[in-house]
């Protein structure tokens, strides 16, 4: 992974997302249909699958995704997984793998190969019939088979609302249509689940009285990726740090911990606290360059700068926040104020 991401490779979010889908996810998901993943769309009243991948293994998969996202988005360590996924516009890994695996299973259900596997499976297990039946029933093969049958039923039901029985049979017989329907069904299913999970994450944040940064003030369906369009690599990095609040400023707990201090005062004006919002919109020491920013976009609203004007806001931040990580960038022409909304380099 480091080899891919080293140097100048993947200059913006869009290219790095391609890398995620084309290389990383494809690698992890390659064998996913053969794994016994728990059904992440299961409701609390449905029985849990036994013998599936352990919670520890599932946790490791999510951890792997978080590590990938950290490298790809260049968010700081300790940035929460759900918020990185949302900023990078990808879904939680378990849901993605479940979708890929179920697409495969539902598509191949009833095929010759599938039936042969089913037949061979009957002879597995212990000799004692009662034990065998019991163990077979709770075995992931059977749990997943039940799920496949359920999904097939639901797809049939949904599609038969719009089509006559004959039209449905004709369409279902076409591999391409069948694939499309199955894919769309699973996509809707996991999208709904992912939306719920993100809402739960935000709720737990509110419950713990954690501050809501711009990345937390978005809805699941918002196209956050647009904030990162046309941004240079350093600007993407600055934008995700500002939007998630995990940035090398003194109001960020993780940064204070590295500095080993409790002081949160802005070192520029020495009058207020030191979050990104203060530097961008209020700090008296930056009033002069802020006038250029205001002249370019017509306002200094923190919410709007963090959603509609990330390009110029991140340029301002790179130039004036005095964060060491961006020292090598800040003298570039693109980040010099006076400048307009659309730099021409
Ligand atoms: Zn200040």
Residue 273 main-chain phi, psi, to 5 deg: -70, 175
Q: What is the CA(289)–ligand 1 centre distance, in A?
A: 13
Q: What is the CA(248)–ligand 1 centre distance, in A?
A: 15
Q: What is the CA(323)–ligand 1 centre distance, in A?
A: 14
Q: What is the CA(252)–ligand 1 centre distance, in A?
A: 15
Q: What is the CA(249)–ligand 1 centre distance, in A?
A: 11
Q: Give the pLDDT score at 39.
A: 73
Give whole-number Cα distances, 170 to 84, 99, 164, in Å: 43, 25, 10
d(CA 190, CA 202): 18
Give whole-number Cα distances, 123 to 117, 134, 326, in Å: 11, 14, 64
Q: Give the pLDDT score at 4.
A: 52
Q: What is the CA(280)–ligand 1 centre distance, in A?
A: 9
d(CA 160, CA 60): 40
Q: How many CB atoms lie within 10 A of CB 247?
A: 27
Q: What is the CA(146)–ligand 1 centre distance, in A?
A: 61
Domain ranges of the chain: 1-210, 224-335
Q: What is the CA(278)–ligand 1 centre distance, in A?
A: 6
Comparing CA positions, the residue from 247, 252, 216 lying closest to residue 326 is: 247
Structure tokens at 80: 């929460």
Q: Give the pLDDT score at 164.
A: 87
d(CA 287, CA 179): 58
Q: Give the pLDDT score at 13.
A: 83
Q: What is the CA(24)–ligand 1 centre distance, in A?
A: 41
Q: What is the CA(266)–ligand 1 centre distance, in A?
A: 5
On the 0-12 / 13-18 / 19+ scale of CB atoms within 10 A, 309 is buried
Q: Give the pLDDT score at 256.
A: 93
Q: What is the CA(144)–ligand 1 centre distance, in A?
A: 58
Structure tokens at 266: 């802005």
Q: Give the pLDDT score at 217.
A: 93
Whether the full predicted model's pTM is greater than 0.75, yes or no, is yes
Q: Give the pLDDT score at 56.
A: 84
pLDDT-flagged residues of the chain (< 50): 6-10
Return the SS3 of 184: helix
């Amino acid at each position: 992974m480091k080899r891919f991401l080293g140097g100048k490779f993947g200059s913006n979010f869009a290219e790095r997302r391609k890398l995620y889908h084309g290389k990383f996810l494809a690698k992890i998901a390659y064998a996913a249909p053969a794994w016994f993943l728990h059904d992440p769309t299961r409701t609390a009243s449905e029985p849990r699958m036994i013998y599936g991948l352990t919670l520890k293994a599932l946790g490791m998969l999510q951890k792997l995704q978080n590590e990938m996202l950290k490298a790809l988005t260049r968010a700081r360590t300790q940035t929460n997984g759900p918020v990185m996924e949302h900023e990078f516009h990808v879904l939680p890994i378990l849901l993605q793998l479940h979708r890929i695996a179920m697409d495969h299973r539902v598509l191949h259900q009833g095929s010759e190969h599938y039936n042969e596997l089913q037949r061979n499976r009957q002879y597995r297990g212990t000799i004692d019939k009662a034990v065998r039946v019991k163990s077979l029933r709770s075995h992931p093969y059977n749990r997943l088979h039940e799920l496949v049958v359920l999904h097939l039923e639901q797809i049939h039901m949904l599609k038969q609302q719009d089509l006559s029985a004959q039209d449905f049979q004709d369409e279902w017989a076409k591999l391409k249509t069948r694939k499309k329907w199955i894919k769309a069904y699973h996509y809707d299913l996991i999208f709904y689940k992912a939306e719920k999970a993100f809402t739960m994450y935000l709720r737990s944040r509110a419950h713990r009285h954690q501050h809501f940064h711009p990345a937390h003030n978005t809805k699941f369906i918002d196209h956050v990726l647009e904030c990162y369009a046309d941004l240079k690599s350093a600007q993407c990095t600055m934008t995700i740090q500002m939007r998630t609040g995990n940035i090398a400023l003194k109001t960020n707990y993780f940064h204070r911990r590295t500095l080993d201090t409790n002081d949160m005062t802005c070192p520029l004006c020495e009058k207020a606290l030191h979050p990104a919002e203060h530097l961008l919109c209020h700090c008296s020491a930056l009033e002069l360059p802020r006038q250029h920013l205001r002249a370019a976009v017509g306002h200094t609203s923190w919410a709007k700068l963090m959603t509609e004007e990330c390009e110029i806001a991140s340029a301002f931040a790179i130039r004036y926040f005095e964060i060491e990580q961006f020292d090598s960038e800040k003298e570039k022409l693109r980040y010099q104020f006076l400048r307009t909304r659309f730099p021409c380099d």
